[in-house]
Structure 1
Amino acid sequence: MTPLRIGLEYFTPWTNDVGYQIAIANDLYLQQGLEVRQVLVDPLAGDTLEHLVRGDVDIAVCPTNRLLKRVEAGQALRGIATINHRAMETILTTTSTGIQRPLDLQGRRVAFNPTPRGIALVRHLITSDGGDPDSMIIVDSGSREINADDIVAGFADAFFGAYWAWDALFGTTPSAQRVALPVDEIGMLAYPSYVLAVRADSLSTDRESLTKFLHASEQGFRLAASDHALAV
């Protein structure tokens, strides 16, 4: 039995990880001769890619941009599969703001974590829609995830960084009053939000095990998509 450790990207398993959980629960990995263990990484010791580089995990679930940045810096890491086949991020607002497109963010208070990436993405969206990104008023939300209730309460007019896959789970604002603008539908380049990464040398030393892992994981995600009761 070949052991494999997969580092999950969040503080706790969430919907993005359901395929692995189903594969484990239904012995799909064991059928491939793999003993797969999910690892919740310590954020104080770095993200999943940092744990991967140190050898604490064998596979890392990670945001695409973090992998690209490390590869650009010369780290020997490689992506082997996409988890989300489209971007999950949205511009979140409510019907009361009147915001319906990136152009409407001009002169409005937009909350997000103002990292270089965050600023560049929001500015790109506004510019691509013919607007002036300098007129946007940035509200620093840090690592906090804003929901529709915060917008109703006046924290900001819109929030960049919400995920369409789970925003509906948070807050009490009726769904009819929520407006979610997926970034890949409003001017952003299409990209997968999360990918699986490995150390480059494992592509030669552990290729067979990785191939088996991907096969069983795909089975798990397909089961989740076809049997919602099983996924829940």
Structure 2
Amino acid sequence: MSTPILSVENVTKRYGTKKALDNITFSVNQPGIIGLIGANGSGKSTLLKLIAGLLKTSTGTVQLIGNNVSRKTTKHCAYLSEDDDLYPFYTVKDTLLFYEKVFPDFERSKSENILNDINVSMEEKIGHLSKGNRARVKIALALGRKVPCLLLDEPLSGLDPIVREDIIKAFAKYADLEKQLIILSTHEVEEIEPLLDQVLFIKDGSILYFNEVEQLREERGQSVIDFMREVLK
């Protein structure tokens, strides 16, 4: 039996007396795109940070490629934060060169191709870019990482429809879905649903449903967005 790409076993995460995640267990054996869906405060960001090795579990284990996650997990996993964490004084080109130095798996040419496709200037300073273009740069950086696992925390949040469309097209064209597991948290379910292989619904720190999107449609006769409206009321 092959080692799962991701294994989350009996994981609880507490912040003081509050449980952000409550004894959750699931595993992922195949590459593809998983939609991580839930209301604000449901535990989505906490789960992504635990997988990325940025937080420690209160109890339970998280493993990537058979290894317990830690700060060294960046070798196997790229994490795109909802926060804007790029250096404003760098140009876009400087930012790509910086990533190339920090991450040995970073394919600069791939990120350059993505940015060329979506018309972002390499000479513009990050601090001078619009919110939409900063989001485009972040996606290009994330997709440039040649890692088994890619974690994206609300990459479409607060963006106008044209920017969201550019980002979704970049996923469709450049994500290596035969080799990468991509977990994407989003509220923009209707737009991203055509790309999803699996869906994981989370509510109040617990998993409500985790399965393949096609299985959801066959079992319940519902789209992901319809199921979301039903269970996340």
TM-score band w.r.t. shorter chain = 0.3 to 0.5
**Which TM-score applies when normalising by structure 1?**
0.33
Which one has a bigger Cα radius of gyration? 1
Whichever structure has more helix as a proportion of its residues is 1
Higher relative contact order (CA closer than 8 Å, sequence separation 6+): 1
